[in-house]
Amino acid sequence: MATVEVNENTFQLGSATIEDVLNSRVTKKNLKSYFDEVKYKSNSSKSKLDQVYFYLQERPKDLAQLKTFFAKSIMFGKSRIVTESFIANSPSPAYHVDTLLDRLGVESLEDYCTNLLDNFVPSQVFQPVYRDVIAEKNDINAINIIYTRLFRNRKAKGDITRAEYVWFELNLQEKRFRLHFTNDKTNEVDSDLPSNSKNLFAFFSRKLNRQFDIVLDLQNEKKVVYTIYHTLTEQNERSYAVKVKPYLSDIEEFYSEMLNNLGMSSQDDTVDGKYRIEKLFVRMLISQNFNDFLNTKTAEGRVKAFSFENNGNGTRLNASSGATRDTTNDMMTYIETSDAYFDNKETIDKAKALFSVLVQWNPGFDDIKDIMQVRYSAFDGFLETHFLYTPVKEEEYGIELRKIDRIRERSRSNN
């Protein structure tokens, strides 16, 4: 095992910490931010390992604080996939400190809480290396656990320790359960437990039930995904709809006249004809310069792609030649033309359900500083949020997840 010894064996940094946590989860920028926070002047020209070595030589009592920084580096950054579920059974006996300790067979929260991120050895099965409980008197607010197992595949170098991490986040105040992990699905250490959302969710939801006697609500989140789609398309179309609004009385007059000419009444209208005529003019305005419509950032976000299957007849929507296979093994249909946008929109609005949407969140809204691309997918029991392309900061997680809470509330109110 590769180790770094400090102050004559006071403690050691294990090979997994050196070769994986420091190498792949801690960036030089984040390490500098940590040193700035603890008011330590480090030589940034040196390697991350050297900087940590000299820091602990000078301030060995800061080890606990450094290990907390390691935990945060695992929780955020590369952990760009989040599954979110809600607790079904309430109240649960595990909501209180004394009953939780009795259930877990430990004397105190101090005995239960741990942080082994300075020196741990990942095995083939998931084991906790970090546990933290946030409690107020006898009430438990939240439990955070980082599980790790060995990472191994045919491309991995055999002489370097690599690990896979899952952050298990249980928020008892909000009755919410989340898992956070990376998008790397190539771990071959256990063929019975592949590193994908559905398998990890099934595994850790069973662990949640066994350890804490908590059962999750396994409803499908397709209506929430649809509400994300509907909310953003409505925002982006608003300026065009405003131009049509002054002529709604003319549209109604035309609609009534045509019904009369055809010997029909409004009771014969099964396709919502008046609404469709109104939306046809909105479509014409947008289609005049669809590229401008796609690239204008006057709304908080824009739907860039979606995946939708009509379970009633088995047909799949196809919007353009730009469809590509994504990591959910479904086809994402990319919105590239006005026909792709409008022809599918009618079907989606009728079904009021979507499996997946890819959203671009724009800067200038909710304190977002840079464009964020996020894909939302609905599975039985959880909503998957996948931050694409770049590592995510802790504050960005908070902003984005609050957006989804707001949209989720809108979805509930529309039911």
Q: What are the pLDDT digits (tens) for 356-399?
A: 999 999 888 887 888 889 999 999 899 999 999 888 888 888 88
Hey, which bits of 247-366 come out as E strands? 301-307, 324-325, 331-334, 356-361
Sign of the CA dihedral running 69, 73, 76, 77: positive
49-64 pLDDT, tens digit per residue, is 999 999 999 999 999 9
What pLDDT was estimated at residue 315? Answer: 38
What residues in the chain have per-residue pLDDT under 50?
A: 1, 6-10, 310-316, 318-330
pTM of the model: 0.86
pLDDT at 408: 84
pLDDT at 160: 84
Q: What is the per-residue pLDDT for 333?
A: 77
* Burial degree of 9 (CB within 10 A; 0-12, 13-18, 19+): exposed
Residue with tokens 């390691």: 70
Q: What is the pLDDT of residue 5?
A: 54
**What is the per-residue pLDDT for 319?**
44
pLDDT of residue 156: 66
With a CB cutoff of 8 Å and minimum separation 6, the contacts of 110 are none
